[in-house]
């Protein structure tokens, strides 16, 4: 369902697994989000630094070429303000702490449920 708040927001999905990427694209597309995609950490950095009006990044942690933590650091060097949400397969407490201490604004745990993701995006974009 189209979401009044998310409609037209520009969000970068960083995900190397194709089926996960398609799934996330489907959820955000339905909400009316303006979507960009990257399949590895380096591509994520490139897109983030070349898209000044980007609103949010949904970043996988385990990525080829450059992992999510390194990509976050590179992006933060240039863009302190951008909202970056980690998506992680690990539901462990230690990882949650590491993610938040690393400078991510928030995280979602895989498997990602559609409504949870929408709620997280709205909460984080509202804080901006
Ligand atoms: Mg991955």
Distance 30 CA to ligand 1 centre (A): 23
Q: What integer pLDDT is reported at residue 95 of this predicted model?
A: 79
Q: pTM of this prediction?
A: 0.95
Answer for the pair 34, 58: CB distance below 8 angstroms, yes or no: no
CATH code assigned at 25 = 3.40.50.2300
* Residue 113, domain member (yes or no): yes
When mean pLDDT is compared across 69-78, 84-93, 111-120, the lowest value belongs to 84-93
Q: With 90 as the cut, is the pLDDT of residue 36 above it?
A: yes
d(CA 89, CA 85): 13
Mean pLDDT of 8-36: 97
State which residues form the domain around 71.
10-126
Q: With 70 as the cut, is the pLDDT of residue 46 above it?
A: yes
* Residue 4, domain member (yes or no): no
Distance 46 CA to ligand 1 centre (A): 18
When mean pLDDT is compared across 21-35, 59-73, 94-108, the lowest value belongs to 94-108
Sheet with strand 83-88: strands edge to edge = 34-38, 10-14, 56-60, 83-88, 106-109
Give the chain's mean pLDDT.
93
Distance 9 CA to ligand 1 centre (A): 24
- Please tell me the total count of domains within the chain: 1
Considering Cα of 115, then 119, then 121, then 122, what sign does the dihedral take?
positive
* Residue 94, domain member (yes or no): yes
């Amino acid at each position: 369902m189209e979401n009044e708040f998310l409609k037209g927001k520009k969000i970068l999905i960083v995900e190397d697994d194709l089926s996960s990427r398609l799934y996330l694209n489907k959820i955000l597309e339905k909400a009316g989000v303006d979507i960009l995609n990257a399949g590895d950490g380096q591509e994520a950095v490139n897109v983030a630094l070349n898209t000044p009006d980007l609103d949010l990044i949904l970043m996988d942690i385990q990525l080829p070429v450059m992992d999510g933590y390194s990509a976050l650091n590179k992006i933060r060097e240039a863009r302190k303000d951008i909202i970056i949400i980690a998506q992680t397969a690990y539901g462990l407490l230690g990882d949650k702490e590491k993610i938040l201490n690393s400078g991510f604004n928030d995280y979602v745990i895989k498997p990602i449920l559609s409504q949870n993701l929408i709620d997280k995006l709205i909460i984080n974009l509202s804080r901006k």
